[in-house]
Amino acid sequence: MTKADLPTFEPRGRKVKILATIGPASSDPDVLRELFRAGADAFRFNMSHGDHAVHEKNFRTVRALEKEFGRPIAILCDLQGPKLRVGTFKDGKATITHGARFTLDRNEEPGDATRVCLPHPELWETLEVGHRLLVNDGKIRLRVKELAEDAAHCVAEVGGVISDRKGVNVPDSEVPIPALTAKDKKDLAFAMEHGADWIGLSFVQRPADIEEAKALMAGRGFLCAKIEKPQAVERIDEIIAAADGIMVARGDLGVELNPEEVPPLQKKIVNATRLTGKPVIVATQMLESMIESPTPTRAEVSDVANAVYDGADAVMLSAETAAGDWPEEAVMMMDSIARQVEADDGYRMRVRMLDTPPDRTTADALAHACMTIGDTIDIAAIAVFTSSGSSARRVARERPAMPLMVLTPSLAVARRVALLWGAHAVATKDIGSFEEMIAKGRRMALRHGFGKPGANVAMLAGVPFGRSGATNLLHVVTLSGDELDDYEGDAADEPDA
């Protein structure tokens, strides 16, 4: 077989990943194909919307795209979580005037301009005088002035129109409800059955929330903890340690906190997660105006750029691709912003401003050495052989200047790594010897466009081969091109089913 007969899977050419949400505007297979072509590296399924039949169809579409383009694609299923909501109103809505008294109670009768039911008994155990209740994404702000056994008498610090079943945020209380509702558990079982790579856990408040979800996942897929409550911010280090990745979900976080508190918190959370080598996603309202407009605001462009400069692993599009009028253009714009930032001469310095000292292990020392070797001599790429993805996360944590090619015998691991900064994942058969490692590393680097004959590639692996957690080998090789001439066919590299 000659080089011309081999499929080519060109890398994206950028380090930060793009996570695009699927919805009514993008569930058509042709639209999803164009989103992938435009730059989407992973797709988010919002389990708050759509039924399982719709999500099952989208699973099939994304997996078909994988086969068509020969590149692993991550699927993140985002669970709805325990959303608190008011009851209903006699006329479907009511108007609360500024400064007026308004009562939340346990009476299931339809509400009016003076009261409405709050059908969450667990909330009454935590409410105190002075606590805030934010309704409809914070558009209405109530403060508790007096508590009775079955009623919270509030004053409307900010009034407005309130309608049936609007969401309620309680930023001053840690509500004693589990992070997984009955619906979430059904959605989680569905996601695991269909091979979701990541689960987004909403409204995390404590590490125990993560442990409960992971127990149900039973080792299938990775868990991404969404940081959107003040209680999670207060325990951020514990939550990062318990989760496999973190999402800075600025929507609800911006409701429960003052808006000016969110930007520094975003940087703090990104940095704290980066120190562990786990992926961190910045999400919500990144290109919000592109829901209706083909171009974003300058402020939105700067917002995306800042997340890229901070070294986030991925940036996310929500309604822009799920329900907007310009889904493909939104992905193209995010891709263009990321490329422009990464081409900036100051990008490498900015992204390495965070000191990520290696742990005192051989694996961490070698991962750190990959970066310093690349800074010292001309390296076209780093090839990491991994069975769990751990070695790839260690190398990516260093934010090396050169591309990162992740070679793994597990298609599941290749998909999960698709959200990792700079990683181009390749699912391929495992290696059994040093000679096989060199040959496969050279061949894959040539096939995937990570260098031409004469270029140097750093290879990171573990001996004995095939054992997880045994990274202890770093070798620099020069590509020759002979590997492709002697290649016996695609089947020799395809991973076992």
Residues classed as catalytic: 44, 85, 226, 284
Omega within 30 of 0 (cis) for the link into 464: yes
CA nearest to 87, candidates 181, 162, 189? 162
Which residue reads 């080519």 in tokens? 8
CA nearest to 476, candidates 364, 365, 362, 380? 380
CA nearest to 199, candidates 78, 315, 80? 78
The amino acid present at 88, given as its one-letter code, is T
User: For the chain, first and last CA: distance in Å?
Assistant: 24
> Alpha carbon 470 to chain centroid distance?
27
CA nearest to 418, candidates 9, 53, 8? 9
Q: Which two tokens stand for residue 154?
A: 């509030």
Determine the Cα–Cα distance for residues 41 and 115; give it in Å rounded to an integer: 47
Say if CB 223 and CB 211 are below 8 A apart.
no
Cβ burial, residue 129 (10 Å; 0-12/13-18/19+): exposed
Cβ burial, residue 34 (10 Å; 0-12/13-18/19+): middle
Which residue reads 């260098």 in tokens? 451
Q: List 426's β-bridge partners, or say none.
A: 407
Is the alpha carbon torsion for 451, 454, 457, 463 positive or negative?
positive
Determine the Cα–Cα distance for residues 254 and 177; give it in Å rounded to an integer: 21
Longest dimension (CA), the chain: 81
CA nearest to 213, candidates 241, 236, 181, 173? 181
The DSSP code sequence of 294-350 is SS--HHHHHHHHHHHHTT-SEEEESHHHHT-S-HHHHHHHHHHHHHHHHTSTTHHHH
Query: Residue 111 has what DSSP assignment?
Result: B
Q: Which two tokens stand for residue 370?
A: 């990959």
